[in-house]
Amino acid sequence: MSNIVNATDKTYRAEVQSSTTPVIVDLWAPWCQPCKAINKDLEAISETYKGRVKVVKVNVDENPELVKALEIRSVPTILFYSAKGSSPIAIVGATTAKQMIAKFRLEELPSAI
């Protein structure tokens, strides 16, 4: 079973901004082939870093308020919030698990309790 959470315009604050663990947000669309291509990498990260990082997906077609608020111009866009209230680090376009782990410095996260 997947550890990935789906968020909406209404649940984003609770799922992401109020999270007590770092969060990776995947802003995607069902018609986007690169978005589909990174799903397995996000699944792998959610398993490998379970308890240390939360992975959240947001369908941009179904959540226009959030897309506007976050100023998303292209999908996939991956955002990483290292701490509650922090500004995100972004990757725009297709990427790999290895690239996300390096850019977001996931290896430096403390072990899960």
Contact 66, 58 (CB under 8 A): yes
Give the tens place of pLDDT for each residue, 45-101: 999 999 999 999 999 999 999 999 999 999 999 999 998 878 899 999 999 999 999
Distance CA 36, CA 113 (A): 32
Average pLDDT over residues 25-43: 96
pLDDT of residue 113: 54
Q: Which of 4, 5, 29, 32 is catalytic?
A: 32
pLDDT of residue 104: 96
Q: Which of 16, 35, 38, 67 is catalytic?
A: 35
**Residue type at position 12:** Y
pLDDT of residue 65: 95
Average pLDDT over residues 9-36: 95
Fold of 5-103: Glutaredoxin (3.40.30)
> Is 89 a known active-site residue?
no
Distance CA 42, CA 39 (A): 5
Residue 102: HSE in the Cβ half-sphere, 13 Å Cα cutoff: 5
Q: How do the domains of the chain map onto residue ranges?
A: 5-103
> Is 32 a known active-site residue?
yes
pLDDT of residue 94: 92
